[in-house]
Amino acid sequence: MNLSIRPRRNRQSPAIRDMVRETVLTPGNLIYPLFLQEGDENTPISAMPGCQRWCLADLVQEAGEAHALGIPGVVLFPRIPDELKTPGAEECYNDDGLVPRAIRALKAAHPTLMVITDVALDPYNSDGHDGLVAADGRILNDETVEVLCQQALCHARAGADIVAPSDMMDGRVAALRAALDQAGFTQVSIMSYTAKYASAYYGPFRGALDSAPKAGDKKTYQMDPANTIEALREAALDESEGADILMVKPAGPYLDIIARIRDVSTLPIAAYQVSGEYLMIKAGAAAGWLDEDKVAMESLLGIRRAGANMILTYFAKKIAAVL
């Protein structure tokens, strides 16, 4: 064949493939989600093999090991005891609560570790929703935002580097930015869950925290999986309100959303590889049908290739060790 152009020449050896590789994944692109609970013991999460709810002492050790592998940050998700859950979610802004104590312990042990906190009411709300619930079942937007501001300030006082509102209430980014700035926390960043879809992929996570809604669903505040343009509207709003990082959740089934937001925003983009994505890979590997490390790596490369600067993934520690 008389071919002047042969693309395979750029694939013929590992050295050439490395040299022309377009997308690079490093431990610095990963954020490690960690579950925590009260007490002195750890509890394995049956629906998420390899994950557990950590007691505080072991949480600090696990985060330190991940940080030593080059992972820059962790994000915290608490399992709150049922007796502390109330309709007003007051425990979420208790300065002596589980999350503030964890933040202080992590920053004391690992000063260079970036600590990110989830800002939402579902772990603390006796109704299991991300917002306050009215008597008629409506999720109250503005009243919820007031509580979220108190929660974010509580985390900032404890030393959080980034607060990540995952509630999908309207206007919460602007309100959080104003509250943080007025309290002198201008250095605390906001990683906004910008396009958080009402996804079936969250099931194992809700079981891990016992945070599923007691009634109804989350479709009046989380986004319709059918919508793309709406995500661009949410991104524009969050950017204008003062978000520092925009997030898409889930990641794998929404690569097109990551790419679309990447095209229109100059802000860094995070993507959350959620519990359902993780479990499918783990289950396939456990059955002998998939190579876990290779499939996990490829899935993360795909998320990076779509445009994500950082990825929240339960594979973070394992993949960082491989890398």
Q: What is the pLDDT of residues 157-177, one digit of tens each?
A: 999 999 999 999 999 999 999
- Separation of alpha carbons 155 and 190, rounded Å: 12
Cα–Cα distance list, 248 to 115, 144, 175 (Å): 19, 22, 21
Residues contributing to the annotated binding site: 234
**Per-residue pLDDT at 85:** 95
Rg (CA), the chain: 20
At 49, give phi and psi (nearest 5°).
-55, 135
Annotated binding-site members for Mg(2+): 234
Which residue of the set 85, 196, 218, 282 is catalytic? 196
- CATH class of the 24-321 domain in this structure: alpha beta
Q: Which of 85, 218, 249, 282 is catalytic?
A: 249
Average pLDDT over residues 195-214: 80
Closest CA to 79 of 38, 121, 127: 38
In the chain, the largest separation of any two C-alpha atoms, in whole Å, equals 76
Contact between 116 and 75 under an 8 Å Cβ cutoff? The reply is yes
- How confident is the model at residue 205, as a pLDDT? 78
pLDDT-derived band at 45 (thresholds 50, 70, 90) equals very high
Q: Which residue has the tokens 């008629």?
A: 136
211 has a pLDDT exceeding 70:
no
Q: Is the pLDDT of residue 215 over 80?
A: no
**Mean pLDDT (the chain, rounded):** 95
With beta carbons less than 8 A apart as the criterion, state whether 226 and 199 touch.
Answer: no
User: Known catalytic residue: 196?
Assistant: yes
pLDDT (mean) for 43-51: 94
**What average pLDDT does range 102-124 have in this prediction?**
97
pLDDT at 224 over 70: yes
Q: pLDDT at position 199, please?
A: 95
Q: How far apart are CA 211 and CA 126, in angstroms?
A: 9
- Angle at which helices 229-241 and 255-264 pack, to 10 degrees? 50
Position 212 scores a pLDDT of: 64
| Catalytic-residue membership of 219 | no
Q: Are strands 139-140 and 132-133 parallel, antiparallel or unpaired?
A: antiparallel
